[in-house]
Structure 1
Protein backbone atom coordinates (compact mmCIF):
# COMPACT_ATOMS: atom_id res chain seq x y z
CA UNK A 1 0.00 0.00 0.00
CA UNK A 2 2.84 2.35 0.72
CA UNK A 3 3.90 2.09 -2.91
CA UNK A 4 0.86 4.06 -4.04
CA UNK A 5 1.70 7.05 -1.96
CA UNK A 6 5.22 7.35 -3.30
CA UNK A 7 3.35 8.99 -6.16
CA UNK A 8 2.23 11.78 -3.89
CA UNK A 9 5.77 12.93 -3.27
CA UNK A 10 5.94 14.26 -6.81
CA UNK A 11 2.55 15.94 -6.79
CA UNK A 12 2.61 19.69 -7.20
CA UNK A 13 -0.76 20.17 -5.59
CA UNK A 14 -3.28 22.77 -6.40
CA UNK A 15 -2.56 24.61 -3.18
CA UNK A 16 0.05 26.81 -4.90
CA UNK A 17 3.01 26.89 -7.23
CA UNK A 18 5.80 27.86 -4.82
CA UNK A 19 7.06 25.45 -2.14
CA UNK A 20 8.24 26.79 1.20
CA UNK A 21 10.60 24.97 3.53
CA UNK A 22 9.97 27.04 6.65
CA UNK A 23 6.99 27.84 8.84
CA UNK A 24 3.97 29.73 7.54
CA UNK A 25 3.14 33.09 9.01
CA UNK A 26 -0.57 32.21 9.17
CA UNK A 27 -0.09 28.73 10.68
CA UNK A 28 0.99 29.44 14.23
CA UNK A 29 1.91 27.05 17.02
CA UNK A 30 -1.25 25.51 18.42
CA UNK A 31 -3.19 25.71 15.14
CA UNK A 32 -5.22 22.51 14.90
CA UNK A 33 -3.92 21.48 11.44
CA UNK A 34 -0.31 22.67 11.88
CA UNK A 35 1.24 19.19 12.11
CA UNK A 36 -0.72 17.90 9.11
CA UNK A 37 0.20 20.90 6.98
CA UNK A 38 3.89 20.78 7.91
CA UNK A 39 4.05 17.02 7.32
CA UNK A 40 2.66 17.33 3.80
CA UNK A 41 4.81 20.36 3.02
CA UNK A 42 7.94 18.52 4.17
CA UNK A 43 7.13 15.70 1.73
CA UNK A 44 6.40 18.08 -1.12
CA UNK A 45 2.74 17.08 -1.31
CA UNK A 46 1.34 20.55 -0.59
CA UNK A 47 2.91 23.97 -0.93
CA UNK A 48 2.54 27.49 0.33
CA UNK A 49 2.49 30.93 -1.28
CA UNK A 50 5.36 33.32 -2.09
CA UNK A 51 4.37 35.59 0.81
CA UNK A 52 5.14 32.76 3.28
CA UNK A 53 1.49 32.03 3.96
CA UNK A 54 -0.51 28.83 3.58
CA UNK A 55 -3.97 30.44 3.64
CA UNK A 56 -5.52 27.52 5.51
CA UNK A 57 -9.04 28.96 5.43
CA UNK A 58 -9.18 29.23 1.63
CA UNK A 59 -11.40 26.74 -0.19
CA UNK A 60 -10.52 24.05 -2.73
CA UNK A 61 -12.46 23.65 -5.98
CA UNK A 62 -14.03 20.52 -7.42
CA UNK A 63 -11.52 20.43 -10.27
CA UNK A 64 -8.62 20.85 -7.84
CA UNK A 65 -9.86 18.08 -5.56
CA UNK A 66 -10.43 15.82 -8.59
CA UNK A 67 -6.79 16.34 -9.58
CA UNK A 68 -5.68 15.43 -6.07
CA UNK A 69 -7.67 12.18 -5.92
CA UNK A 70 -6.66 11.14 -9.45
CA UNK A 71 -2.97 11.66 -8.72
CA UNK A 72 -3.06 10.09 -5.27
CA UNK A 73 -4.50 6.90 -6.76
CA UNK A 74 -2.25 7.02 -9.82
CA UNK A 75 -5.22 6.68 -12.18
CA UNK A 76 -4.35 7.07 -15.89
CA UNK A 77 -6.02 10.11 -17.46
CA UNK A 78 -9.16 9.61 -19.53
CA UNK A 79 -8.57 11.85 -22.56
CA UNK A 80 -11.42 10.40 -24.62
CA UNK A 81 -13.20 13.36 -26.21
CA UNK A 82 -15.82 11.23 -27.95
CA UNK A 83 -18.17 11.33 -24.96
CA UNK A 84 -19.35 14.48 -23.22
CA UNK A 85 -20.05 13.66 -19.57
CA UNK A 86 -20.50 17.21 -18.26
CA UNK A 87 -20.81 20.03 -20.79
CA UNK A 88 -19.38 22.53 -18.31
CA UNK A 89 -16.01 20.74 -17.99
CA UNK A 90 -15.17 20.65 -21.70
CA UNK A 91 -13.02 23.79 -21.46
CA UNK A 92 -11.78 23.11 -17.92
CA UNK A 93 -8.10 22.27 -17.30
CA UNK A 94 -9.08 19.21 -15.23
CA UNK A 95 -11.47 17.67 -17.77
CA UNK A 96 -9.45 14.47 -18.18
CA UNK A 97 -9.10 14.04 -14.42
CA UNK A 98 -12.83 14.52 -13.83
CA UNK A 99 -13.70 12.02 -16.59
CA UNK A 100 -11.26 9.56 -15.03
CA UNK A 101 -13.07 9.73 -11.69
CA UNK A 102 -16.45 9.37 -13.38
CA UNK A 103 -15.25 6.24 -15.20
CA UNK A 104 -13.87 4.85 -11.94
CA UNK A 105 -17.19 5.48 -10.16
CA UNK A 106 -15.73 8.02 -7.74
CA UNK A 107 -17.88 10.81 -9.20
CA UNK A 108 -21.51 9.95 -9.95
CA UNK A 109 -23.09 12.06 -12.70
CA UNK A 110 -26.43 11.68 -10.93
CA UNK A 111 -25.06 13.83 -8.09
CA UNK A 112 -24.50 16.70 -10.52
CA UNK A 113 -27.60 16.85 -12.72
CA UNK A 114 -27.19 20.59 -13.30
CA UNK A 115 -23.54 20.27 -14.29
CA UNK A 116 -20.33 19.57 -12.40
CA UNK A 117 -19.46 23.26 -11.97
CA UNK A 118 -15.71 22.50 -11.69
CA UNK A 119 -14.72 25.85 -10.23
CA UNK A 120 -17.20 25.63 -7.37
CA UNK A 121 -15.66 24.94 -3.94
CA UNK A 122 -15.93 21.42 -2.55
CA UNK A 123 -18.29 20.83 0.34
CA UNK A 124 -17.49 18.51 3.22
CA UNK A 125 -20.16 16.01 2.20
CA UNK A 126 -18.79 15.89 -1.36
CA UNK A 127 -15.35 15.12 0.02
CA UNK A 128 -16.70 12.38 2.24
CA UNK A 129 -18.50 10.78 -0.71
CA UNK A 130 -15.52 10.95 -3.08
CA UNK A 131 -12.93 9.81 -0.53
CA UNK A 132 -14.89 6.75 0.59
CA UNK A 133 -15.55 5.77 -3.03
CA UNK A 134 -11.90 6.38 -3.96
CA UNK A 135 -10.68 4.15 -1.14
CA UNK A 136 -13.34 1.55 -2.01
CA UNK A 137 -14.38 1.25 1.63
CA UNK A 138 -17.49 -0.86 2.09
CA UNK A 139 -20.56 1.11 3.20
CA UNK A 140 -23.99 0.17 4.50
CA UNK A 141 -27.24 2.07 4.11
CA UNK A 142 -28.21 3.79 7.35
CA UNK A 143 -31.13 5.93 8.46
CA UNK A 144 -29.22 8.26 10.75
CA UNK A 145 -25.69 9.38 11.55
CA UNK A 146 -24.40 10.33 15.00
CA UNK A 147 -24.09 14.02 14.15
CA UNK A 148 -26.35 16.67 15.66
CA UNK A 149 -27.08 18.13 12.22
CA UNK A 150 -27.97 14.74 10.73
CA UNK A 151 -31.09 16.22 9.12
CA UNK A 152 -28.88 18.33 6.86
CA UNK A 153 -27.23 15.19 5.47
CA UNK A 154 -29.12 13.62 2.56
CA UNK A 155 -30.30 10.03 2.87
CA UNK A 156 -27.92 8.77 0.16
CA UNK A 157 -24.92 10.52 1.74
CA UNK A 158 -25.42 9.33 5.31
CA UNK A 159 -23.49 6.10 4.69
CA UNK A 160 -20.48 8.00 3.32
CA UNK A 161 -20.43 10.50 6.16
CA UNK A 162 -20.82 7.78 8.78
CA UNK A 163 -18.07 5.64 7.21
CA UNK A 164 -15.75 8.65 6.93
CA UNK A 165 -16.27 9.28 10.65
CA UNK A 166 -15.82 5.61 11.63
CA UNK A 167 -12.52 5.43 9.75
CA UNK A 168 -11.43 8.78 11.22
CA UNK A 169 -10.80 10.21 7.76
CA UNK A 170 -13.25 13.09 8.15
CA UNK A 171 -14.21 14.12 11.65
CA UNK A 172 -16.89 16.44 12.96
CA UNK A 173 -16.76 19.67 14.90
CA UNK A 174 -16.60 20.18 18.69
CA UNK A 175 -20.34 20.91 18.74
CA UNK A 176 -20.94 17.38 17.38
CA UNK A 177 -22.03 18.65 13.95
CA UNK A 178 -20.69 17.63 10.55
CA UNK A 179 -21.73 20.73 8.55
CA UNK A 180 -22.14 18.80 5.30
CA UNK A 181 -22.80 21.80 3.07
CA UNK A 182 -19.96 23.92 4.43
CA UNK A 183 -17.12 24.38 1.95
CA UNK A 184 -13.97 22.50 2.91
CA UNK A 185 -10.85 24.54 3.61
CA UNK A 186 -7.26 23.92 2.61
CA UNK A 187 -6.45 23.05 6.20
CA UNK A 188 -9.28 20.51 6.38
CA UNK A 189 -8.17 19.03 3.06
CA UNK A 190 -4.60 18.66 4.33
CA UNK A 191 -5.88 16.82 7.39
CA UNK A 192 -8.00 14.50 5.22
CA UNK A 193 -5.04 13.66 2.99
CA UNK A 194 -2.93 12.65 5.98
CA UNK A 195 -5.77 10.49 7.32
CA UNK A 196 -6.23 8.84 3.91
CA UNK A 197 -2.55 7.95 3.83
CA UNK A 198 -2.65 6.66 7.41
CA UNK A 199 -5.76 4.58 6.70
CA UNK A 200 -4.21 2.85 3.71
CA UNK A 201 -0.78 2.42 5.24
CA UNK A 202 -2.37 0.59 8.17
CA UNK A 203 -3.74 -2.08 5.80
CA UNK A 204 -0.69 -4.00 4.65
CA UNK A 205 -2.80 -6.69 2.98
CA UNK A 206 -3.97 -4.28 0.28
CA UNK A 207 -2.04 -2.34 -2.34
CA UNK A 208 -3.62 0.09 -4.79
CA UNK A 209 -1.78 0.33 -8.10
CA UNK A 210 -2.97 2.40 -11.07
CA UNK A 211 -6.35 2.68 -9.35
CA UNK A 212 -6.72 -1.12 -8.99
CA UNK A 213 -7.02 -2.63 -5.52
CA UNK A 214 -4.83 -5.72 -5.11
CA UNK A 215 -5.43 -7.91 -2.06
CA UNK A 216 -2.31 -9.92 -1.20
CA UNK A 217 -4.48 -12.70 0.25
CA UNK A 218 -7.66 -12.86 -1.82
CA UNK A 219 -6.15 -12.09 -5.23
CA UNK A 220 -3.43 -14.76 -5.28
CA UNK A 221 -3.24 -18.52 -5.72
CA UNK A 222 -2.40 -20.11 -2.38
CA UNK A 223 -0.60 -23.43 -2.92
CA UNK A 224 2.40 -23.59 -0.59
CA UNK A 225 5.12 -25.85 -1.95
CA UNK A 226 3.92 -25.60 -5.57
CA UNK A 227 5.60 -23.57 -8.31
CA UNK A 228 2.55 -21.34 -8.85
CA UNK A 229 2.14 -20.39 -5.18
CA UNK A 230 1.29 -16.66 -4.82
CA UNK A 231 0.70 -16.26 -8.56
CA UNK A 232 -1.90 -13.59 -9.31
CA UNK A 233 -5.40 -14.87 -9.99
CA UNK A 234 -6.66 -14.58 -13.56
CA UNK A 235 -9.53 -12.21 -12.76
CA UNK A 236 -7.18 -9.75 -11.08
CA UNK A 237 -4.66 -10.05 -13.91
CA UNK A 238 -7.48 -9.23 -16.28
CA UNK A 239 -8.04 -5.82 -14.63
CA UNK A 240 -4.43 -4.79 -15.31
CA UNK A 241 -4.37 -6.39 -18.75
CA UNK A 242 -7.51 -4.56 -19.86
CA UNK A 243 -5.78 -1.30 -18.95
CA UNK A 244 -2.94 -2.32 -21.26
CA UNK A 245 -5.29 -2.98 -24.17
CA UNK A 246 -7.33 0.17 -23.55
CA UNK A 247 -4.15 2.17 -24.15
CA UNK A 248 -2.73 0.06 -27.01
CA UNK A 249 -2.98 1.72 -30.46
CA UNK A 250 -1.87 0.68 -33.93
CA UNK A 251 -1.74 3.78 -36.12
CA UNK A 252 -0.48 5.07 -39.46
CA UNK A 253 1.41 8.36 -39.75
CA UNK A 254 2.80 9.70 -43.03
CA UNK A 255 2.69 6.27 -44.62
CA UNK A 256 4.47 4.59 -41.70
CA UNK A 257 2.87 2.19 -39.21
CA UNK A 258 3.33 2.39 -35.44
CA UNK A 259 2.31 0.65 -32.25
CA UNK A 260 2.04 2.68 -29.04
CA UNK A 261 0.65 2.33 -25.55
CA UNK A 262 1.30 2.38 -21.83
CA UNK A 263 2.65 -0.47 -19.68
CA UNK A 264 1.20 0.21 -16.25
CA UNK A 265 2.78 -0.40 -12.88
CA UNK A 266 1.89 -3.70 -11.17
CA UNK A 267 1.81 -4.74 -7.49
CA UNK A 268 5.05 -5.12 -5.57
CA UNK A 269 6.71 -8.47 -6.28
CA UNK A 270 5.07 -8.91 -9.71
CA UNK A 271 6.13 -8.16 -13.27
CA UNK A 272 4.72 -8.06 -16.79
CA UNK A 273 5.27 -10.81 -19.32
CA UNK A 274 4.02 -9.39 -22.62
CA UNK A 275 5.21 -9.68 -26.21
CA UNK A 276 3.77 -7.89 -29.24
CA UNK A 277 4.49 -10.02 -32.33
CA UNK A 278 3.86 -8.65 -35.83
CA UNK A 279 4.24 -11.07 -38.76
CA UNK A 280 4.32 -10.02 -42.42
CA UNK A 281 2.99 -11.63 -45.62
CA UNK A 282 5.49 -13.63 -47.72
CA UNK A 283 8.38 -12.36 -45.66
CA UNK A 284 10.54 -14.04 -43.07
CA UNK A 285 10.96 -10.70 -41.35
CA UNK A 286 8.86 -9.82 -38.31
CA UNK A 287 8.61 -7.32 -35.45
CA UNK A 288 8.62 -8.21 -31.77
CA UNK A 289 8.44 -5.90 -28.76
CA UNK A 290 9.05 -7.14 -25.20
CA UNK A 291 8.51 -6.32 -21.54
CA UNK A 292 11.50 -8.55 -20.79
CA UNK A 293 14.15 -6.27 -19.28
CA UNK A 294 16.82 -8.26 -21.10
CA UNK A 295 15.41 -7.18 -24.46
CA UNK A 296 17.17 -4.52 -26.53
CA UNK A 297 16.28 -0.99 -25.45
CA UNK A 298 14.82 -0.18 -28.88
CA UNK A 299 12.16 -2.90 -28.50
CA UNK A 300 11.66 -2.75 -24.73
CA UNK A 301 8.36 -1.80 -23.09
CA UNK A 302 9.21 -0.37 -19.68
CA UNK A 303 6.87 -0.71 -16.70
CA UNK A 304 5.22 2.57 -15.76
CA UNK A 305 6.11 4.24 -19.06
CA UNK A 306 4.53 5.06 -22.43
CA UNK A 307 6.01 3.38 -25.49
CA UNK A 308 5.89 3.93 -29.24
CA UNK A 309 7.58 1.73 -31.86
CA UNK A 310 7.81 2.06 -35.63
CA UNK A 311 6.99 -1.14 -37.51
CA UNK A 312 9.43 -2.40 -40.13
CA UNK A 313 6.77 -2.60 -42.82
CA UNK A 314 3.50 -0.94 -43.77
CA UNK A 315 0.21 -2.19 -42.35
CA UNK A 316 -0.84 -3.46 -45.80
CA UNK A 317 1.62 -6.37 -45.63
CA UNK A 318 0.84 -7.42 -42.05
CA UNK A 319 -0.46 -10.97 -41.90
CA UNK A 320 -1.10 -11.41 -38.19
CA UNK A 321 -0.54 -9.70 -34.87
CA UNK A 322 -0.46 -11.84 -31.75
CA UNK A 323 0.01 -10.66 -28.18
CA UNK A 324 0.51 -13.21 -25.37
CA UNK A 325 0.30 -11.42 -22.03
CA UNK A 326 0.24 -12.25 -18.31
CA UNK A 327 1.47 -10.95 -14.95
CA UNK A 328 4.02 -13.16 -13.18
CA UNK A 329 5.42 -13.27 -9.69
CA UNK A 330 9.08 -12.24 -9.42
CA UNK A 331 9.75 -15.80 -8.29
CA UNK A 332 8.48 -17.06 -11.64
CA UNK A 333 5.09 -18.24 -10.34
CA UNK A 334 2.47 -17.79 -13.05
CA UNK A 335 -1.21 -18.51 -13.51
CA UNK A 336 -2.87 -18.73 -16.91
CA UNK A 337 -2.35 -16.59 -20.00
CA UNK A 338 -4.23 -14.07 -22.16
CA UNK A 339 -3.78 -14.06 -25.95
CA UNK A 340 -4.99 -11.44 -28.43
CA UNK A 341 -4.96 -12.14 -32.20
CA UNK A 342 -5.60 -9.77 -35.11
CA UNK A 343 -7.10 -9.69 -37.74
CA UNK A 344 -9.01 -12.69 -36.33
CA UNK A 345 -10.17 -10.31 -33.57
CA UNK A 346 -10.02 -12.91 -30.85
CA UNK A 347 -9.06 -12.44 -27.22
CA UNK A 348 -8.70 -15.54 -25.05
CA UNK A 349 -8.41 -15.93 -21.29
CA UNK A 350 -6.57 -19.22 -21.05
CA UNK A 351 -6.66 -21.00 -17.71
CA UNK A 352 -6.09 -24.51 -16.41
CA UNK A 353 -9.77 -25.18 -15.92
CA UNK A 354 -11.35 -23.66 -19.04
CA UNK A 355 -10.57 -21.12 -21.75
CA UNK A 356 -12.87 -18.11 -22.00
CA UNK A 357 -13.31 -15.88 -25.02
CA UNK A 358 -13.42 -12.15 -24.26
CA UNK A 359 -13.67 -10.85 -27.84
CA UNK A 360 -16.39 -8.31 -27.06
CA UNK A 361 -14.34 -6.72 -24.29
CA UNK A 362 -11.90 -5.24 -26.82
CA UNK A 363 -12.67 -2.05 -28.76
CA UNK A 364 -11.05 -3.24 -31.98
CA UNK A 365 -11.73 -0.06 -33.95
CA UNK A 366 -10.17 2.09 -31.24
CA UNK A 367 -7.13 -0.18 -30.95
CA UNK A 368 -6.52 -0.52 -34.69
CA UNK A 369 -6.98 3.03 -35.88
CA UNK A 370 -5.45 2.47 -39.29
Structure 2
Protein backbone atom coordinates (compact mmCIF):
# COMPACT_ATOMS: atom_id res chain seq x y z
CA UNK A 1 0.00 0.00 0.00
CA UNK A 2 2.82 2.38 0.90
CA UNK A 3 4.56 1.71 -2.41
CA UNK A 4 1.31 2.32 -4.27
CA UNK A 5 0.80 5.66 -2.47
CA UNK A 6 4.31 6.80 -3.34
CA UNK A 7 3.70 5.85 -6.97
CA UNK A 8 0.42 7.79 -7.04
CA UNK A 9 2.08 10.89 -5.55
CA UNK A 10 4.89 10.69 -8.11
CA UNK A 11 2.42 10.32 -10.95
CA UNK A 12 0.43 13.33 -9.73
CA UNK A 13 3.57 15.47 -9.56
CA UNK A 14 4.51 14.48 -13.12
CA UNK A 15 1.07 15.48 -14.36
CA UNK A 16 1.26 18.85 -12.58
CA UNK A 17 4.72 19.57 -13.99
CA UNK A 18 3.56 18.58 -17.47
CA UNK A 19 0.48 20.81 -17.19
CA UNK A 20 2.44 23.86 -16.08
CA UNK A 21 5.10 23.21 -18.71
CA UNK A 22 2.41 23.25 -21.41
CA UNK A 23 0.92 26.45 -19.98
CA UNK A 24 4.27 28.22 -19.98
CA UNK A 25 5.07 27.03 -23.51
CA UNK A 26 1.72 28.35 -24.77
CA UNK A 27 2.31 31.72 -23.11
CA UNK A 28 5.78 31.93 -24.64
CA UNK A 29 4.37 31.29 -28.10
CA UNK A 30 1.67 33.93 -27.60
CA UNK A 31 4.28 36.44 -26.49
CA UNK A 32 6.12 35.87 -29.77
CA UNK A 33 2.94 36.52 -31.71
CA UNK A 34 2.84 33.11 -33.39
CA UNK A 35 0.53 30.25 -32.37
CA UNK A 36 2.24 27.66 -34.56
CA UNK A 37 3.81 24.71 -32.75
CA UNK A 38 6.20 23.91 -35.62
CA UNK A 39 7.78 27.39 -35.89
CA UNK A 40 10.57 28.08 -33.40
CA UNK A 41 12.17 31.41 -32.62
CA UNK A 42 15.30 30.45 -34.56
CA UNK A 43 13.50 29.21 -37.68
CA UNK A 44 14.90 31.06 -40.70
CA UNK A 45 11.52 32.45 -41.82
CA UNK A 46 10.04 33.07 -38.36
CA UNK A 47 9.85 36.86 -38.73
CA UNK A 48 8.48 36.58 -42.25
CA UNK A 49 5.79 34.12 -41.16
CA UNK A 50 4.88 36.44 -38.31
CA UNK A 51 4.61 39.31 -40.81
CA UNK A 52 2.30 37.28 -43.04
CA UNK A 53 0.22 36.05 -40.12
CA UNK A 54 -0.26 39.52 -38.65
CA UNK A 55 -1.13 40.89 -42.10
CA UNK A 56 -3.83 38.24 -42.47
CA UNK A 57 -2.17 36.65 -45.49
CA UNK A 58 -1.83 33.18 -43.97
CA UNK A 59 -3.23 31.05 -41.19
CA UNK A 60 -2.24 27.80 -39.60
CA UNK A 61 -3.86 24.39 -39.76
CA UNK A 62 -6.29 22.81 -37.33
CA UNK A 63 -3.49 20.82 -35.72
CA UNK A 64 -1.80 24.07 -34.64
CA UNK A 65 0.98 23.88 -37.21
CA UNK A 66 1.97 26.27 -39.99
CA UNK A 67 3.58 23.59 -42.20
CA UNK A 68 6.25 25.88 -43.71
CA UNK A 69 7.53 23.21 -46.11
CA UNK A 70 4.12 22.44 -47.59
CA UNK A 71 3.97 23.26 -51.29
CA UNK A 72 1.89 26.16 -52.62
CA UNK A 73 -0.52 26.17 -55.56
CA UNK A 74 -0.83 28.86 -58.20
CA UNK A 75 -4.15 30.01 -56.72
CA UNK A 76 -2.77 30.23 -53.18
CA UNK A 77 0.26 32.30 -54.20
CA UNK A 78 -1.78 34.58 -56.44
CA UNK A 79 -4.21 35.24 -53.60
CA UNK A 80 -1.38 36.10 -51.18
CA UNK A 81 0.32 38.38 -53.71
CA UNK A 82 -2.80 40.34 -54.61
CA UNK A 83 -4.15 40.62 -51.05
CA UNK A 84 -0.82 42.09 -49.90
CA UNK A 85 -1.30 45.20 -52.04
CA UNK A 86 -5.03 45.18 -52.76
CA UNK A 87 -6.79 43.85 -49.64
CA UNK A 88 -10.14 44.89 -51.06
CA UNK A 89 -9.89 41.89 -53.39
CA UNK A 90 -11.21 38.97 -51.37
CA UNK A 91 -12.06 35.33 -51.91
CA UNK A 92 -15.36 34.52 -53.57
CA UNK A 93 -18.14 33.08 -51.43
CA UNK A 94 -19.81 31.54 -54.47
CA UNK A 95 -18.21 29.46 -57.19
CA UNK A 96 -14.45 28.97 -57.12
CA UNK A 97 -12.93 30.83 -54.17
CA UNK A 98 -10.01 32.16 -56.25
CA UNK A 99 -12.06 33.70 -59.07
CA UNK A 100 -11.57 37.35 -57.92
CA UNK A 101 -7.79 36.93 -57.86
CA UNK A 102 -7.74 35.50 -61.37
CA UNK A 103 -9.99 38.28 -62.65
CA UNK A 104 -7.53 40.82 -61.23
CA UNK A 105 -4.50 38.92 -62.56
CA UNK A 106 -6.03 38.82 -66.03
CA UNK A 107 -6.66 42.57 -65.94
CA UNK A 108 -2.98 43.06 -65.06
CA UNK A 109 -1.88 40.61 -67.82
CA UNK A 110 -0.05 38.35 -65.37
CA UNK A 111 1.25 34.98 -66.64
CA UNK A 112 -1.11 32.54 -64.96
CA UNK A 113 -2.44 29.57 -66.86
CA UNK A 114 -5.75 29.09 -65.10
CA UNK A 115 -7.88 32.14 -65.90
CA UNK A 116 -10.74 29.98 -67.13
CA UNK A 117 -9.67 26.46 -66.15
CA UNK A 118 -10.28 26.22 -62.41
CA UNK A 119 -9.19 22.57 -62.36
CA UNK A 120 -5.53 23.54 -62.85
CA UNK A 121 -5.43 26.23 -60.18
CA UNK A 122 -4.32 23.75 -57.55
CA UNK A 123 -1.21 22.74 -59.45
CA UNK A 124 2.02 23.28 -57.53
CA UNK A 125 3.88 26.48 -58.38
CA UNK A 126 7.60 26.45 -59.15
CA UNK A 127 10.10 29.10 -58.12
CA UNK A 128 10.54 30.11 -61.77
CA UNK A 129 6.81 30.78 -62.05
CA UNK A 130 7.06 32.94 -58.93
CA UNK A 131 9.88 34.93 -60.53
CA UNK A 132 7.70 35.46 -63.60
CA UNK A 133 4.75 36.64 -61.50
CA UNK A 134 6.67 39.02 -59.26
CA UNK A 135 8.70 40.51 -62.10
CA UNK A 136 5.39 41.03 -63.92
CA UNK A 137 4.11 42.94 -60.91
CA UNK A 138 7.17 45.18 -61.30
CA UNK A 139 5.92 46.20 -64.74
CA UNK A 140 8.23 44.10 -66.93
CA UNK A 141 7.63 41.06 -69.11
CA UNK A 142 10.35 38.48 -68.56
CA UNK A 143 10.07 34.71 -68.49
CA UNK A 144 12.24 31.80 -67.44
CA UNK A 145 15.85 32.60 -66.60
CA UNK A 146 15.39 36.26 -67.53
CA UNK A 147 12.73 36.61 -64.83
CA UNK A 148 15.05 34.90 -62.35
CA UNK A 149 17.92 37.24 -63.25
CA UNK A 150 15.61 40.21 -62.77
CA UNK A 151 14.69 39.03 -59.28
CA UNK A 152 18.26 38.27 -58.24
CA UNK A 153 19.68 41.50 -59.66
CA UNK A 154 17.23 43.70 -57.77
CA UNK A 155 17.50 41.83 -54.48
CA UNK A 156 13.95 40.50 -54.69
CA UNK A 157 15.28 36.97 -54.20
CA UNK A 158 18.39 35.10 -53.16
CA UNK A 159 19.79 31.83 -54.37
CA UNK A 160 20.32 28.82 -52.15
CA UNK A 161 24.07 29.50 -52.05
CA UNK A 162 24.97 32.83 -50.45
CA UNK A 163 28.50 32.62 -51.82
CA UNK A 164 27.32 32.39 -55.42
CA UNK A 165 24.31 34.30 -56.71
CA UNK A 166 23.40 32.57 -59.95
CA UNK A 167 20.51 31.31 -62.03
CA UNK A 168 21.39 27.75 -61.02
CA UNK A 169 21.44 28.53 -57.30
CA UNK A 170 17.92 29.95 -57.56
CA UNK A 171 16.64 26.41 -58.26
CA UNK A 172 13.80 27.52 -60.49
CA UNK A 173 12.35 24.04 -61.03
CA UNK A 174 11.92 23.50 -57.30
CA UNK A 175 8.37 23.54 -55.95
CA UNK A 176 7.48 26.61 -53.89
CA UNK A 177 6.87 26.18 -50.15
CA UNK A 178 4.66 28.25 -47.85
CA UNK A 179 7.65 29.82 -46.08
CA UNK A 180 9.31 30.67 -49.40
CA UNK A 181 6.09 32.15 -50.79
CA UNK A 182 5.83 34.58 -47.90
CA UNK A 183 9.52 35.48 -48.17
CA UNK A 184 9.17 36.29 -51.88
CA UNK A 185 6.14 38.48 -51.22
CA UNK A 186 7.75 40.23 -48.26
CA UNK A 187 10.87 40.95 -50.34
CA UNK A 188 8.65 42.46 -53.01
CA UNK A 189 6.75 44.51 -50.42
CA UNK A 190 9.99 45.76 -48.86
CA UNK A 191 12.12 46.38 -51.95
CA UNK A 192 9.73 46.43 -54.90
CA UNK A 193 7.77 49.18 -56.62
CA UNK A 194 5.17 49.36 -53.84
CA UNK A 195 2.19 48.00 -55.73
CA UNK A 196 0.98 45.81 -58.58
CA UNK A 197 1.89 47.20 -61.99
CA UNK A 198 0.55 46.03 -65.33
CA UNK A 199 2.67 43.54 -67.24
CA UNK A 200 3.49 44.81 -70.73
CA UNK A 201 1.95 42.89 -73.59
CA UNK A 202 5.31 42.62 -75.37
CA UNK A 203 8.35 40.87 -73.87
CA UNK A 204 10.90 43.15 -72.24
CA UNK A 205 14.35 43.45 -73.77
CA UNK A 206 16.86 41.09 -72.08
CA UNK A 207 19.57 43.67 -72.80
CA UNK A 208 17.92 45.89 -70.19
CA UNK A 209 18.39 43.32 -67.43
CA UNK A 210 20.70 44.40 -64.60
CA UNK A 211 23.78 42.25 -64.12
CA UNK A 212 23.75 39.60 -61.44
CA UNK A 213 25.34 40.76 -58.18
CA UNK A 214 28.74 39.39 -57.27
CA UNK A 215 29.37 37.64 -53.96
CA UNK A 216 31.21 39.61 -51.29
Instruction: State TM-score, norm by structure 2.
Output: 0.60
Match of 2:146 in 1: 159
CA–CA distance in 2 between the matches of 1:178 and 1:24?
28
Shift in Å, 1:192: 1.2
Match of 2:11 in 1: none
The reply to whether residue 30 of structure 1 matches residue 45 of structure 2 is: no
| Contact 2:81 2:185 (8 Å CA) reproduced | no
The reply to whether residue 118 of structure 1 matches residue 121 of structure 2 is: yes
Aligned length: 156
Q: Pick closer, same or farther for the CA change 1:43–1:96 going to 2, 3 Å.
A: closer
Match of 2:7 in 1: none
Q: Pick closer, same or farther for the CA change 1:42–1:104 going to 2, 3 Å.
A: closer
Shift in Å, 1:23: 4.6
Q: Unaligned stretches of 5+ in structure 1?
A: 1-19, 78-90, 142-155, 214-370
Q: Unaligned stretches of 5+ in structure 2?
A: 1-29, 90-94, 199-216
Instruction: Indicate the structure with greater helix content.
Output: 2
Shift in Å, 1:170: 2.2
Shift in Å, 1:76: 7.5
Within the candidate set 44, 53, 75, 2:56 is matched to: 44
The reply to whether residue 168 of structure 1 matches residue 155 of structure 2 is: yes
Instruction: Indicate the structure with greater strand content.
Output: 1
Within the candidate set 60, 63, 80, 1:68 is matched to: 80
Shift in Å, 1:34: 1.4
CA–CA distance in 2 between the matches of 1:22 and 1:117?
32
Q: Point out 4+ residue stretches in structure 1 off by more than 3 angstroms.
A: 20-23, 42-45
| Contact 2:127 2:175 (8 Å CA) reproduced | yes
Other structure's SS at 1:133 match: helix
Shift in Å, 1:35: 1.7
| Contact 2:48 2:186 (8 Å CA) reproduced | yes
Cα deviation, 1:320-347, whole Å, max 9, x if unaligned, reads: xxxxxxxxxxxxxxxxxxxxxxxxxxxx
Q: Pick closer, same or farther for the CA change 1:212–1:193 going to 2, 3 Å.
A: closer
Match of 1:193 in 2: 185
Instruction: State TM-score, norm by structure 1.
Output: 0.37
Match of 2:172 in 1: 180
CA–CA distance in 2 between the matches of 1:108 and 1:43?
24
Q: Pick closer, same or farther for the CA change 1:23–1:108 going to 2, 3 Å.
A: closer
Other structure's SS at 2:171 match: coil
Q: How does 1:133-282 map to 2 (within 5 A)?
A: 133-136=136-139, 138=140, 156-174=143-161, 177-200=169-192, 208=195, 211=196
CA–CA distance in 2 between the matches of 1:24 and 1:103?
36
Cα deviation, 1:196-223, whole Å, max 9, x if unaligned, reads: 11114xx6xxx64xx568xxxxxxxxxx
The reply to whether residue 107 of structure 1 matches residue 94 of structure 2 is: no
Q: How does 1:280-295 map to 2 (within 5 A)?
A: none
Q: Pick closer, same or farther for the CA change 1:94–1:42 going to 2, 3 Å.
A: closer
Specify the structure having the higher radius of gyration (Cα): 1
Q: CA RMSD in A?
A: 3.1
CA–CA distance in 2 between the matches of 1:56 and 1:42?
16
Other structure's SS at 1:100 match: helix
Cα deviation, 1:47-78, whole Å, max 9, x if unaligned, reads: 2223321100011111111222232332886x
